[in-house]
Structure 1
Amino acid sequence: MSGDADPAAKRHAPATVRNRDAIAEVLRGLLPETGRVLEIASGSGEHVVHFAALFPALEWLPSDPDPASRASIAAWTSGAGLSNIAPPLDLDAAAKVWPIGSADAILCINMIHISPWAATEGLLAGAGRALDPGAPLYLYGPFRRADRPTAPSNEAFDLSLKARNPTWGLRDIADVEKSAERQGLMLEDIIDMPANNVSVVLRRHNDIRVPGR
């Protein structure tokens, strides 16, 4: 990254420090040894810096549609002194065309519940286009699940999200799975994480032809 980034642009997301190591443990068994990892909605940029240091053989591509977030990502990556992080992409998950042709893995942490459903559908469609067969899409955050009741804290969180924006809110994993299947992505695993969050692992299926590929 360029040294021109403004250190004052750094944003801090307290949840990043709490969840980054637990996420990294899941990623250790999921990410390829080499290749490009695209992070959708990188936010402050703290996650990508942490993961890039832990997985130096991978090239990390952060992204965010928000200019202030991209400035924060640039500031964090510039200060980290790592050579395996690309400049942040201006990428809206809901867009029909992404500014990247392919990736060997895609991560999306804590975006799905604080964005319209169209962003989730766009994320899944984009992942279907960008990932080769067998490549993973990793999602993290709070979700609803048919096999267990939603934690009271997550129910309260869902209400607060909808009060801020009626198009936001916790998504049901079953709805994500159905939308993913239409894009050639199959649900592989659901992993319980701290603070009533989960890791959702999807993978590009070998036998499904995705429109646009």
Structure 2
Amino acid sequence: MSTDSPASSPAGPRFPSTLAPPQYYEGLAERFSASVLPTLSPFFAALPRPGARALELASGNGTHVALYAQTHPGIEWQPSECDDFGCRAVDETVRREGIENVVQEAVRVDVIEGEGWEALRRRLDGESDDVKEAFDLVLGNNFIHMIPFPEGPRRIFTSLLSPSLVSPSAKLLLYGPFKHDTGFFSPSDEAFDKEISSRPSSYPLGLRSIDGLARLADETGWRLSERIGVAKGNWVLVFEQQEGRAAGGGQS
């Protein structure tokens, strides 16, 4: 993310306008299991075992990554959040669920800044002296509308590849509400966009265009390979690395 009105306490959230309301998390695991997990599960099942690694961007309070770890054993999960407040929330959920053996401590990654991406690379490099480690899958839920556009998605695309944090066949999955270049998919999407765009922020919040994301992907070594409609008008967008990178081994 970029900048936002700072929290009143140094221990508070760095970007309070982007936080989901507390009621969002009530029954979240059950809702997500029923509506979205069936779409994501085939991508998890296709990962190489053992030793597959997956990176989650914008992990929220850790509910999603806990669900992934509990339903798809054999994958090592790396959650992340944009500030220490979020990382603490994720780590608390992981400890409460007793899944520290498969979910790593959350890393602070503000997608606009280089420091977090470098921290991820150091985390991977520290695991082996002989092999260049990488993530086999990257995903994020309900956050693209809360980061600067187009700077945020562009930085995600480029930072995953330069130097490469992902294996040549790794995909990037983005779940959430989106729009298209000429408008909204539904009145409820338009109402949601109006609500979040009215929040105080130093950059515009709001639903982002799938078409615009596809163009950014094309410019940065990725391509939008699938757009899968899921419950309540949301989407799972599947990005793959462009042919030259996947075929040529793209890691550096």
TM-score range, shorter-chain basis? 0.7 to 0.9
State the alpha-carbon separation in 2 of the partners of residues 188 and 14 from structure 1: 33
Say which of 103, 108, 114 aligns to 1:85: 103
**What secondary structure does 1:167 align onto?**
coil
Q: Establish whether residue 200 from structure 1 lines up as the match of residue 213 from structure 2.
A: no
Pairs within 5 Å for 1:114-125: 114-117=146-149, 118-125=151-158
Match of 2:38 among 13, 16, 25: 25
Match of 1:150 in 2: 185
User: Bigger shift: 122-131 or 49-58?
Assistant: 122-131
1:39·1:48 contact (CA, 8 Å) conserved in 2?
A: yes
Residues of 2 paired with 1:44 and 1:68: CA distance? 10
TM-score w.r.t. length of structure 2: 0.73
Paired residues in the alignment total: 203
Unaligned runs of 5+ in 2: 1-21, 122-133
Match of 1:72 in 2: 89
Q: Distance in 1 between matches of 2:63 and 2:235?
A: 19
TM-score between both structures, scaled by the size of structure 1: 0.86
State, as a whole percentage, how many aligned pairs show the same letter: 26
Equivalences for 1:6-25 in 2 at 5 Å? 13-14=25-26, 16-17=28-29, 18-25=31-38
Q: Gaps (5+ residues) in structure 1?
A: 1-10
- Counterparts of 1:62 and 1:103 in 2: how far apart (Å)? 12
The list of structure 1 runs, each at least 4 consecutive aligned residues, that deviate by more than 3 angstroms after superposition, is 146-149, 208-213
**Which structure is larger by alpha-carbon Rg, 1 or 2?**
2
Task: Give the aligned residue type for 2:60.
Answer: G
Q: Deviations over 1:129-176 (max 9, x none)?
A: 322222110000001135985210110111111111351110111110
CA contact (8 A) 1:106 1:137 kept: yes
Q: Could you tell which deviates more after superposition, 203-212 or 53-62?
A: 203-212
> Which segment drifts farther, 139-148 or 156-165?
139-148
Where 1:86 maps in the other structure, the secondary structure is: coil
What aligned pairs does 1:46-65 form with structure 2 within 5 A after superposition?
Answer: 46-65=63-82
| Partner Cα distance (1:115, 1:162) in 2 | 12
| Pair 1:127-2:160 in alignment | yes
The one-letter code of the counterpart of 2:113 is: A
CA contact (8 A) 1:108 1:139 kept: yes
CA drift of 1:14 comes to 3.5
How far is 1:22 from its partner?
Answer: 2.9
| Shift in alpha-carbon separation, 1:39–1:33, aligned structure 2, 3 A | same
Cα distance, 1:147–1:189 mapped onto 2, change above 3 Å:
farther
